[in-house]
Amino acid sequence: MLRIDAVPTDLTRALAPELALWLATIDPWRRLGIGPEPLANAIGARPLRLAREPDGSGEGTVAGLISWVPDAPMGAYLSVVATHPDHRGRGIGTALMDAVEAEAFVHRRFVLLSVSSFNTHAHAFYLRRGFVEIGHLPDQIQDGSDEILLRKRRP
């Protein structure tokens, strides 16, 4: 069965470089030119939830992750949300979002994130989950694409 684990801080730091290696090879990070080093630094410094699928070992295969900032000034901020390409479309992104939103909304009124304008699939995924567009940040990470700021209010 799929497991969603909150990862202890020291393990998060240790796992970050390996996780950043596959993140850097997939969009939106590949297209935005965000390489393994900044991704590892960001993931290593923040609370992490990992989705693990059973693989016969006790640990399970890492199938997805959310790296987030629970105490950002405007609300909880989700900085990296991803399912490994081999594991998409099986409910992992939904399970990760459900777990992090449930934890965030205990203390925070809002969950925020940004999505690149070319990332239409993730954008639609968030809108279906009740996120609302707050604004567009033109050329924010890369000329020619916007970062779209999305926000969800505590249900």
Binding residues for ligand COA (CB under 6 A): 26, 28, 64, 81-83, 88-94, 115, 119, 121-122, 125, 128
> Angle 100-21-30 (CA atoms, 0-180°, nearest 5)?
85
State which residue, 9 or 94, has the beta carbon closest to ligand COA. 94
Q: Between 9 and 66, whose beta carbon lies closer to ligand COA?
A: 66
CB of 91 to ligand COA, least distance (A): 4
| Residue number of the CB atom closest to ligand COA | 93
Helix and strand element counts for the chain (H, E): 5, 7
**How is residue 100 annotated by DSSP?**
H
Measured at the CA of 3, the angle between CA 52 and CA 102, to 5 degrees, comes to 120
- Quick one: 7 or 80, whose CB is closer to ligand COA? 80
To the nearest whole angstrom, how small is the minimum distance from the Cβ of residue 52 to ligand COA? 13
Residue 101, classed as helix, strand or coil, is helix
Beta carbon of residue 96, minimum distance to ligand COA (angstroms, whole number): 7
Nearest distance, CB of residue 10 and ligand COA, angstroms = 26
Q: By C-beta, is 26 or 132 nearer to ligand COA?
A: 26
Which of 121-143 are b and which e, b meaning 16 or more Cβ less than 10 Å from the residue's Cβ?
A: ebbebbeeeebeeeeeeeebbee
Least distance from ligand COA to the Cβ atom of residue 56, Å: 21
Question: Which letter does DSSP use for residue 40 in this model?
Answer: H
Phi, psi of 128 (to 5 degrees): -65, -25
Nearer to ligand COA, 27 or 37 (CB): 27
